[in-house]
Structure formats: C-alpha cells, structure tokens
Amino acid sequence: MIEPYAQRLIDSDDSVRKRFGFDVVSAADGICQLRAVIDSGWLNGAGFIHGSVCYALMDSACAYACASRQVLGVTTNGNITYVKGAQSGTTLLATATMVSQSRRVMSLTAQVRDEGEELLAHGSFLFQLRANIE
C-alpha cells in the first residue's frame, strides 16, 4: 500500500527514481520499501555496487516514510554502515522505518538487503520536518 501523501512525493521524485532505477513497493504508517535491480553502470572499480546506491535507496525510502505520515522532511544526517558488497544484477530491497517523531524532526532506521535477504547496509537518518502535506 502507498499512502496518497507519499504518492505525491513519489510522483514528484520521478527523475530520482528513474536515475537510480527503483520502484516503490510500499509507503504507509512510517514504513517504506523500495526495490531496485542494479546494472553494471553502478559498479565501482572493485566490481561491487557503489555505496552511493545503497545510501540513495535508504535516503529516499526515509523521505517516503516521512511522507506516509503526511509530512515533508529533508535529510539532516545519515549514518551508514556497509556490511557486504553486491554484484551487477542484484535485486536490492531497501526498508526505512520511523523510530520517533517530534514537531520538528523524525528519526528513522533503514537497511538494504539482497534477494537472498543478506544484509548489505544499514543506517540511521534524521529528517528535519518542513511542512505538512495537505
């Protein structure tokens, strides 16, 4: 399920979604899941998916999780730990979950797993809340 508030942000984020090649699986109740199949254009010199891909997936999933709670937020901090590399053709599933929300900030955790459910990266994000979505 994708909440209508999240769908508005997702629609306006079309260029980012196309660039990274991800689809939104769900975005509701402060939780968002994204899916992407990574091609060889995203490999680093060592032959693994560049870390920026995992960061971008987690960051976008967090933004859509915020929007699913009817608020727009911007990233003020993202702390990522990379656990394992992945090859071209790997299907990634990024999940972001709201931990807490005040009037001004939302704290979220996120992770990226491969199709075998192996953890590739995880992190915590802090979003400054900018406006309610009407």
Q: How does pLDDT run across 48-59, given as a tens digit for each residue?
A: 999 999 999 999
Are 60 and 70 contacting, i.e. CB atoms less than 8 angstroms apart?
no
pTM score, two decimals? 0.95
Average pLDDT over residues 62-79: 97
**What architecture is the 4-132 domain classified under in CATH?**
Roll (3.10)
Q: Which one, of 77, 85, 74, 35, lies nearest residue 57 by Cα?
A: 35
Structure confidence at residue 133 (pLDDT): 77
For residue 132, what pLDDT is reported? 84
Q: Is 60 in a helix, a strand, or coil?
A: helix
Helix spans in 13-50 (H): 14-20
Q: Domain segments of the chain: what residues?
A: 4-132
DSSP-based three-state secondary structure for 73: strand
User: Each residue of 4-23: pLDDT tens digit?
Assistant: 999 999 999 999 999 889 99
71-82 sheet: strands from edge to edge: 22-28, 31-37, 91-101, 105-114, 119-132, 71-82
pLDDT of residue 25: 98
Determine the straight-line distance between the first and last CA of the chain, rounded to whole angstroms.
19
Helix, coil or strand: residue 68? coil
Per-residue pLDDT tens digits for 91-131: 999 999 999 999 999 999 999 999 999 999 999 999 999 98
| Separation of alpha carbons 19 and 38, rounded Å | 11
Is pLDDT above 90 for 71? yes
